Amino acid sequence: MAHKVGIIGGDGIGPEVIAEGLKVIAAAGVALDTVDYDLGGARYLKDGVVLTDDILDEWRNLDALYLGAVGTPEVPPGVIERGLLLKMRFDLDLYINRRPFVFAGDEQRDAHEFIVIRENTEGTYAGEGGFLRKNTPAEVATQGSVNTRLGVERCIRYAFELAQSRPRKHLTMVHKTNVLTFSGDLWERTFNEVAADFSDVETAYNHVDAACIYFVQDPGRYDVIVTDNLFGDILTDLGGAVSGGIGFASSANLNPHGVSMFEPVHGSAPDIAGQNLANPTAAVLSGAMMLDHLGETDAGDRIRAACADTDSLVGSTTEVGDMLVERVANG
Ligand code: IPM
Ligand code: MN
């Protein structure tokens, strides 16, 4: 039976890269029963709709969601990000943001992959805070970080399970426990307690600033990383940049007990939209993660194999898509 997938092409380069992703999935022999959703900045400018509860209810009955990118410069910051993308993450409880980074081998280092598990529903993203005396000289703005034992533990537990399933069985927690002594303490205690259930997983801890250095200078030290929402946001752009470019960075927003959403790490890139210039590989690889989630791991593996030689994936959006279709079909 075809998998029922909601498609949100979104804004900017989003629809262009998703079209290539769908092409490659079809070439891998997986049938999707797709439903299109016109959402994002452009839709908001048309009729004010960002995301409705009816749409969310429809999504709960799908097998997966596949999203390109959302956001347009004409809409003030936050409207689409909070109203659509983060609302999806929160309301569908997509509490795991899983972002793999593949490093091609060269003379200096062996080929390597590490995976960042980013907590996806809490931290500074939860929206806690507000203004006092707005637009006066004495204005105050606060933006708190929400960390629940439940939210932190389920994320850390997922990361341990993932690390345990991999050959190296190594998990690094990244935080800033030396300064964020409340949230960091909760994360650290939870990490240490959960670690007791995974005695075969080797653990490490890095402060986030140090992790930035290691991402650039020694990424080979990492296998699985678990971190909070904002640190994970920043680190995964850096991960993309040091592992061949953000054009290859894929992600899964997972609710292990419900519908999950798959999207490239990159944004809508309005500056290059509509010009057939965006690299679709990140969207294609996000599609492969979606196939894994749908139980089509063989097709997912074939797509990842087709994307492995990143140096060869140059050309226009459709040219790279065609190249991948060809490799997947003949590979
Ligand atoms: C990401 C994006 C989002 C985030 C934005 C668009 C809200 O940067 O998925 O990494 O900050 O999570
Ligand atoms: Mn980001």
Q: Where in the chain is the domain with CATH 3.40.718.10?
A: 1-97+252-331, 105-242
Radius of gyration of the chain (CA): 20
Alpha-carbon distance 217 to 206, whole Å? 14
Residue closest via CA to ligand 1's atom 12 equals 233
Q: Which atom of ligand 1 is nearest to the CA of 120?
A: 12
Looking at the chain, the whole-number percentage of residues with pLDDT higher than 70 is 100
- Residue 68 and residue 8 in contact, taking contact as beta carbons nearer than 8 Å: yes
Q: How wide is the angle at C-alpha 48 spanned by C-alphas 42 and 49, nearest 5°?
A: 85
DSSP 8-state assignment for residue 215? H
- Residue 119 near residue 228, CB atoms below 8 Å: yes
Q: Which residues contact 264 (CB under 8 A, 6 or more apart)?
A: 17, 68, 69, 249, 250, 251, 282, 283, 285, 286
Q: Which atom of ligand 1 is nearest to the CA of 263?
A: 9
Q: Which tokens in the block code for residue 39?
A: 């959402």
Environment of ion ligand 2 (residues, CB < 5 A): 233
Q: Among the bound ligands, name the one nearest to the CA of residue 251.
A: 1
**Does residue 287 carry a pLDDT above 90?**
yes
| Dist. CA 7 → ligand 1 center (Å) | 18
Q: Can you give the pLDDT at residue 107?
A: 83
Distance 233 CA to ligand 1 centre (A): 6
Q: Are 62 and 92 in contact (CB under 8 A)?
A: no
DSSP secondary structure, 67-92, as one string: EEE---TTSPTTHHIIIIIIHHHHHT
What is the structure's pLDDT at 15?
98
Q: Are 115 and 225 in contact (CB under 8 A)?
A: yes
Convert the pLDDT of each residue in 234-246 to its tens digit: 999 999 999 988 8
For the segment 303-322, the average pLDDT, to the nearest whole number, is 95
- Distance from residue 257's CA to the centre of ligand 1 (Å): 22
Give the mean model confidence (pLDDT) for residues 48-77.
Answer: 97
Q: Regarding the domain delimited by 105-242, which CATH topology (the fold level of the hierarchy) does it fall under? A: Isopropylmalate Dehydrogenase (3.40.718)
| Pocket test residue of 50, 84, 233, 251 for ligand 1, highest count of atoms within 8 A of CB | 233
Enumerate the β-bridge partners of residue 123.
Answer: 146
| Helix, strand, coil tally for the chain in percent (to 5) | 45, 20, 35
Ligand with smallest separation from the Cα of 237: 2
**Would the pTM count as exceeding 0.85?**
yes
The Cα–Cα gap between 271 and 40 comes to: 17
Say which residue the tokens 């809490």 belong to: 122
Residue nearest atom 10 in ligand 1 by C-alpha distance: 233
Q: How confident is the model at residue 109 (pLDDT cuts 50, 70, 90)?
A: confident
CATH class of 1-97+252-331: alpha beta
Give pLDDT, residue 55.
98
Q: Tell me if residue 235 falls in helix, strand or coil.
A: helix
Query: Which residues lie with the beta carbon below 6 Å from any ligand 1 atom?
Result: 81, 85, 233, 265
* pLDDT category of residue 61 using cuts at 50, 70 and 90: very high
User: Is 22 in contact with 34 (CB distance < 8 Å)?
Assistant: yes
What's residue 1's pLDDT? 79
- Whole-number Å distance, alpha carbon 267 to ligand 2 midpoint, is 8
Q: What is the DSSP letter of 138?
A: T
